[in-house]
Amino acid sequence: MKKIRNMVIALIIGLLMGYIMFSLDNANSPEANKTAGEAFLAENTQKENIITTASGLQYEILTKGEGPSPTATARVTVHYRGTSLEGDEFDSSYSRNAPATFPLNQVISGWTEGLQLMNVGAKYRFFIPSDLAYGERGAGGDIGSNEALIFEVELLSF
């Protein structure tokens, strides 16, 4: 019985080590993420419908809205979809079928800046440099250090 237990423990340790090594081999370094983001954003500025702000936030207006825009301290309700530059979705209120409501000054600075450009009913696509997103800290297992991000955001109300 003791021999079987030791074999199971050895198997579990081997699987964990393999998983960790595989994850590390496939993870991009913070420097590689930053370089990839900068290259993507530089190329993106050449596209016809892309607008770039002084901070480096890029956006595309998909649908225009009407009325006033929220301030940085407003409480907003949005639908959104967040992806990596490769298109891998890491979060979506659409897939949860539930819009998100939050104070605008308590999210990443790219969102705070970008949503203030919008009116109710507008839908924008934001291309957010890493320093306006999660920066060096990243976020969970899905957003690496220094990753630029893409969000489609629809402002429902504020």
Catalytic residue ranges: 80, 90-91, 108, 134, 151
Which pLDDT score is estimated for 5? Answer: 61
- The length of the chain, given as a count of residues: 158
Write the DSSP assignment of 123-139 as a string of letters. Answer: EEEEEE-GGGTTGGG-B
In tens, the pLDDT along 113-147 reads: 999 999 999 999 999 999 999 999 889 888 999 99
Q: What is the pLDDT of residue 25?
A: 40
Choose from 8-12, 28-32, 103-107 the range with maximum mean pLDDT: 103-107
Number of H helices, E strands in the chain: 4, 7
- What is the model's pLDDT at position 20? 46
Residue whose entry in the numeric block shows the structure tokens 């003791």? 2
Residue with tokens 């979705």: 89
- DSSP structure class, residue 48: T
CB atoms within 10 A of CB 148: 25
For the chain, give every domain's residue range. Answer: 28-157
Of the candidate CATH numbers 3.40.50.920, 3.40.50.720, 3.10.50.40, 3.20.20.120, the domain formed by 28-157 belongs to: 3.10.50.40
